[in-house]
Amino acid sequence: MPMQQGSSCAIITPMLDSGKIDIPSLRNLLKYHLDAGTDNLCILGTTGEASVLTMDERAQVITTAVDMVKGKMPILCGTGTINPEHVKEMTQQAIDLGCDASLVVTPYYVKPPQRGLIKHFTDTADLGLPVIMYNIPGRTKVDLTPQSTAICAEHPNIVGLKDATGDLDRVKEIRSLVSDDFLLYSGNDDTASNFVMRGGDGCISVTANVAPEEMHDLMVAALEKDADLVQQINGPLMGLHKNLFVESNPIPVKFAAWRAGLIASPFCRPPLAELDTKYYKDVETALYAAGLLDFEILGFDAKVPAMGVNSAAEGDWNYVSLNVRA
């Protein structure tokens, strides 16, 4: 199933407090996105904590996603890392297990030259799975230039780019260098609507984990160049776009998904950790502003977990009269 325009959720990998992957919660999340109209599913990216999963665990996530959504929405699987041989191994696994495309990040830390980046992407594309390149210089410390993007786009299996540079002027430049069917996705929730209105095709979104329907509607409005509707939808989401990054992704969004009753635990694998208690209010307030959570804040010492989740975290506030939007 080919990748589509619109909202792609960079989905979290839910885990139990023991650190094991929580497959029942993952299945519930996948159904949630099907019901909400998410356009593409992005598994095993940074938000999915792919860097700390084994190949067997990756297989669990992929097979669950394929079982739940294959043929209903495209499955984009993160297969990028530094070592090209490991990229090939993960990409071949994605092919064998039924994914529709791979998301391949520029190799981080080692800072390849542009010719090295081009070879990295084209070699991966030679395996046969459609490739979405991922450019995020803030994390990788290397920038795939628009000119290199255009060279890569000549490969028939390189079908798009996730751009997380934050430079909206790049949209017009890249669009002028590639074919009309080359997909341009924003990797920044806060500017995604502007990105699309300037010629992009959608976003690969963290916010969509907790607001999938809203992000789908926002991308539709942006694709239709309906500025008033974009503002109407995006305004209540701006707190989420900001506060889901108060600590390293996916720490805040896992907390948000837990507070919204979507997963059983906010656990993140080391070297990450669960959200610092000083940020609880920021994330909760953003959920409330987006219409995703209703609560009354009182000054108790424990927090009441959402929707019957068994384990309450300790902190210096308590949320009562909690109503989670179904």
Higher-scoring residue by pLDDT: 322, 267: 267
Cross-strand pairs, 160: 132, 183
242 labelled catalytic: no
* Of 264, 258, 251, 292, the residue nearest 25 (C-alpha): 264
Residue type for position 23: I
- Classify 115 as helix, strand or coil: helix
Residue 211 to residue 7: CA distance in whole angstroms: 11
Q: How far is CA 284 from the centre of its chain?
A: 20
Using pLDDT thresholds of 50, 70 and 90, give the confidence band for residue 55: very high
Element (H, E) at 151: helix 146-153
279 labelled catalytic: no
Residue 281 to residue 239: CA distance in whole angstroms: 12
Exposure pattern of 295-309 as b/e (b: 16+ CB <10 Å)?
A: beeeeeeebebbeeb
Averaged pLDDT for residues 291-305: 53
Averaged pLDDT for residues 57-74: 98
Beta strands 293-298 and 131-135: pairing type?
unpaired
- pLDDT (tens digit per residue) in 117-138: 999 999 999 999 999 999 999 9
What proportions of the chain, in percent to the nearest 5, are helix, strand and coil?
45, 15, 40
Averaged pLDDT for residues 191-218: 98
Residues 253, 12: contact at Cβ < 8 Å? yes
Whether residue 11 has pLDDT greater than 90: yes
200 Rama class: left (phi>0) / alpha (psi -120 to 50) / beta: beta
Among 32, 134, 185, 280, the one annotated catalytic: 134
Residue 240 to residue 242: CA distance in whole angstroms: 5
- Classify 226 as helix, strand or coil: coil
Residue type for position 60: Q
From residue 274, give the alpha-carbon distance in Å to each of 154, 250, 263, 306.
42, 9, 14, 16
Using pLDDT thresholds of 50, 70 and 90, give the confidence band for residue 295: low
Residue type for position 12: I
Whether residue 294 has pLDDT greater than 90: no
Number of H helices, E strands in the chain: 13, 10
- pLDDT (tens digit per residue) in 200-212: 999 999 999 999 9
pTM for the whole structure: 0.90
Whether residue 154 has pLDDT greater than 50: yes
Among 70, 109, 162, 288, the one annotated catalytic: 162
Averaged pLDDT for residues 140-156: 98
Mean of per-residue pLDDT scores for the chain? 92
